[in-house]
């Protein structure tokens, strides 16, 4: 029984069904006549949808055959879901689409929207992992197309729903701020997923945010398409669950359609699409589908489903119903259907064989090319661009109030000044998060921004980091520059996959055709006094260091923060990069360095044309070689204070190196500073395991300087406790001095 090939059975079933059909055929309808009485679908539309269904099916069948020959590398198919082609037909090619993996029918139909495109060859190249694949360049089998506004992604377990919602909101937001959208103003965002995925926490947060938005009568034209096949891999969805769960949700408008019957289902699909476009409200389309041929080629359903159940499911194959409609309506004869079926098979196999002959990625450089594009000269030029005209004077209240003319200030104020500058420089900039608007954030870092630039550009969101980062991706998709704020680093972990699995992966999986430019500001790290505990003193930087393509900066002083923000914004604008700025909370208001009242940690505001190159560190005590301390963030002023004690105690000349950029680490800079060091100390306020310190050590050792005496002063592998106990688990000045003594 294990050897039964259900794909072959479904293939044979279709031909046998057509040959053995014995019903009555009506007179052939004209192209613009209804395919069947009462159907909203005309004969031409049905014929094209049927062809799209057949393309999808034969791509699946081809993949099952050629996978065993190592000519195809993906077998999760769309069989049973071909009715999603109706959604493609009822929408426009300029409606951004975020699709799950069973979207072969949708893609085949959307290809009709633009002349000269070939759904068979393009799909075959993707199945074959050819570097000529126009979607991902051979990096993954994805449904995607730049001209068709299908954003490639590998996520299908709900993580794409927040960015689809965010894109819908961004369409409306762009109009409100006068931003020129890359798509028509009345576009909608389309998002497809399975019934099992609808239960995922990330899906639920998107549904909740959409309803929250609609409740306030704010437009959010997203079409959630739940393709309900009644199963998630091998776990069955309770009968009626999706309808019961979504039919009566306030502010999430519910429609249902039969995705197994083109003639019967198209009108309902069309109604849902038109409702979403007209009302600009979040709309839930419950599309009935089935799943045949298993979850993927490796899923032997006979091991966990009875043969009777499999036969019953296969009898609901939507292609059988489409063939019956073609015959009943008189549109096609048996021979015409079978000829079309076999002709489609030949085209899919021929395209697959041709795709197998096309080149594949063959070097690490080719694989990584779109992951983290960086054009330093263009970024530097953009970061230094300061053609504000009179705008800065208007923003800051006059020439005599420009921040560079003021006395030195602390970190929080200089970040605030830099944000005002960015908003003046880029009219498409948006800042949003929890408490950032009227209040100006928990630490007043964004104070005054909403008053100056208005609530359309600076606004509060609901308390949901996943939604905040989903919105950021949506705004980025529509050409804006989002600056989302995550209130505390610990809160990022609730939503890290929106960066790891979604935002940072888009350039890679779209071969740099789509980008998610953004600068995520995160109040971070420890050392707060009188306030804290784990969630407000989180030092887990490792979660960010592991995300490919992400840029992470961490300033310790105000002038650095300003010039770093300019570069991060330029990286986003020029190279489409996803960036994060870790802002040390404990240094926000720090004024003094060595003694109370010395003002040693206040800095002047850098002139608008100044920016910090990516990877550039700051060196205190250039030429001092007896001990070199590598550090960042809170570790910088601590190390400077400790250095004074070390110089007094040991007579050493100490150099303190502020890395400033944590991802990617500048290995060349680290080795350059280590080259002349007699001793090396690494002060890392993160945790011992997998922290920044490990990266520094690796750079030093691989540079050939591992024989130098060195030590790490690093946080413990623990969560941060409350009150004074917090300072027992993170480095202190005394720890730095003591560690230096062991290198004598």
Mean pLDDT by 10 residues, the chain (744 residues): 71 95 92 92 96 96 90 87 97 97 95 94 94 94 95 84 98 96 97 94 96 97 95 90 95 97 97 98 97 81 86 93 96 97 96 95 95 97 94 94 96 98 97 95 95 96 96 98 95 92 95 96 88 76 92 98 98 98 97 97 96 98 96 98 96 97 97 96 92 94 92 90 85 95 91
> % helix / strand / coil in the chain, to the nearest 5?
45, 15, 45
Q: Which of 111, 86, 107, 89 shows the shortest CA–CA distance to 98?
A: 107
Contact of 544 with 665, CB cutoff 8 Å: no
DSSP characters for 230-291? SEETTEEPPTTHHHHHHTT-TTSEEEEEETT-HHHHHHHHHHHHHHHHHH---EEEEEE---
- pTM, two decimal places: 0.95
Q: Is 184 helix (H, G, I), strand (E, B) or coil?
A: coil
Q: How many CB atoms lie within 10 A of CB 519?
A: 29
pLDDT attached to residue 1 = 37
d(CA 143, CA 135): 7
Beta-bridge mates of residue 517 = none
pLDDT attached to residue 4 = 56
pLDDT attached to residue 156 = 63
d(CA 21, CA 498): 50
d(CA 601, CA 593): 5
Residue 404 phi/psi, 5-degree rounding, is -70, -10
Q: How many CB atoms lie within 10 A of CB 651?
A: 8
Query: Is the preceding peptide bond at 116 cis, omega within 30 degrees of 0?
Result: no
Contact of 694 with 670, CB cutoff 8 Å: no
Contact of 470 with 418, CB cutoff 8 Å: no
pLDDT attached to residue 2 = 41
């Amino acid at each position: 029984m294990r050897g039964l090939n259900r794909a072959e059975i479904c293939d044979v079933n279709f031909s046998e069904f057509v040959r053995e059909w014995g019903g009555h055929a009506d007179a052939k309808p004209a192209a613009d006549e209804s395919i069947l009485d009462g159907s909203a679908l005309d004969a031409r539309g049905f014929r094209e949808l049927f062809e799209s269904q057949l393309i999808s099916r034969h791509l699946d069948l081809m993949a099952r055959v050629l996978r065993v020959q190592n000519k195809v590398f993906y077998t999760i198919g769309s069989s049973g879901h071909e009715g999603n082609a109706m959604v493609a037909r009822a929408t426009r090619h300029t409606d951004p689409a975020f699709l799950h993996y069973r979207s072969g029918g949708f893609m085949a139909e959307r290809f009709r929207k633009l002349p000269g495109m070939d759904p068979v060859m393009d799909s075959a190249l993707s199945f074959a992992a050819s570097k000529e694949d126009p979607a991902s360049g051979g990096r993954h089998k994805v449904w995607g197309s730049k001209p068709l506004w299908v954003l490639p992604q590998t996520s299908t377990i709900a993580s794409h729903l927040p960015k689809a919602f965010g894109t819908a909101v961004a369409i409306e937001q762009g109009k409100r701020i006068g931003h020129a959208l890359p798509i028509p103003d009345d576009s909608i965002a389309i998002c497809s997923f399975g019934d099992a995925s609808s239960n995922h926490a990330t899906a639920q947060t998107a549904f909740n945010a959409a309803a929250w938005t609609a409740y306030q009568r704010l437009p959010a034209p997203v079409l959630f398409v739940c393709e309900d096949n009644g199963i998630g891999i091998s776990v069955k969805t309770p009968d009626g669950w999706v309808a019961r769960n979504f039919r009566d949700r306030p502010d999430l408008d519910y429609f249902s359609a039969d995705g197994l019957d083109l003639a019967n289902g198209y009108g309902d699909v069309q109604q849902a699409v038109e409702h979403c476009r007209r009302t600009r409200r979040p709309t839930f389309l419950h599309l009935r589908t089935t799943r045949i041929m298993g979850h993927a080629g490796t899923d032997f359903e006979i091991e966990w489903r009875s043969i009777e159940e499999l036969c019953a499911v296969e009898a609901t194959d939507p292609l059988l119903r489409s063939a019956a409609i073609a015959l009943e309506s008189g549109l096609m004869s048996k021979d015409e259907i079978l000829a079309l079926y076999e002709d489609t098979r030949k085209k899919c196999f021929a395209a697959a064989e041709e795709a197998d002959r096309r080149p594949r990625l063959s070097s690490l450089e080719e694989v990584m090319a779109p992951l983290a594009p960086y054009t330093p000269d263009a970024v530097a030029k953009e970061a230094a661009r300061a053609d504000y005209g009179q705008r800065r004077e208007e923003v800051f209240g006059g020439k005599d109030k420009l921040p560079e003319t003021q006395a030195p200030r602390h970190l929080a104020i200089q970040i605030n000044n830099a944000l005002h500058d960015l908003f003046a420089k880029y009219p498409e900039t948006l800042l949003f998060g929890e408490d950032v608007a009227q209040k100006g954030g928990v630490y007043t870092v964004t104070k005054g921004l909403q008053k100056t630039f208005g609530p359309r550009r600076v606004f509060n969101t609901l308390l949901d980091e996943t939604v905040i980062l989903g919105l950021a991706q949506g705004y980025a998709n529509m050409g804006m520059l989002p600056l989302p704020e995550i209130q505390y680093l610990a809160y990022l972990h609730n939503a890290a996959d929106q960066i790891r699995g979604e935002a940072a992966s888009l350039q890679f999986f779209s071969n740099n055709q789509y980008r998610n430019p953004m600068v995520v500001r995160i109040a971070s790290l420890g050392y707060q006094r009188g306030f804290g505990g784990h969630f407000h003193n989180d030092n887990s930087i490792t979660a960010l260091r592991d995300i490919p393509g992400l840029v992470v900066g961490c300033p310790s002083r105000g002038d650095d923060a300003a010039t770093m923000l300019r570069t991060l914004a330029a990286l986003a604008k020029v190279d489409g990069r996803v960036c994060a700025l870790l802002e040390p909370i404990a240094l926000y208001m720090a004024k003094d360095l060595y003694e109370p009242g010395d003002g040693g940690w206040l800095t002047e505001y850098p002139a608008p044309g100044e920016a910090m190159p990516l990877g550039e560190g700051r060196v205190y005590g250039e030429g001092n070689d007896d001990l070199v301390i590598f550090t960042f963030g809170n570790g910088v002023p601590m190390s400077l204070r400790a250095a004074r004690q070390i110089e007094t105690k040991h007579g050493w000349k100490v150099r303190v190196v502020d890395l400033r950029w944590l991802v990617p680490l500048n290995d060349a800079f680290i080795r350059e500073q280590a080259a002349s060091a007699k001793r090396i100390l690494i002060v890392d306020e993160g945790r011992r395991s997998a922290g920044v310190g490990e990266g520094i050590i690796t750079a030093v050792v691989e540079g050939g300087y591992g024989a130098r005496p060195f030590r790490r002063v690093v946080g413990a592998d623990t969560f941060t406790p409350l009150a004074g106990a917090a300072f027992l688990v993170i480095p202190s000045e005394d720890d730095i001095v003591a560690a230096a003594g062991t290198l004598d």
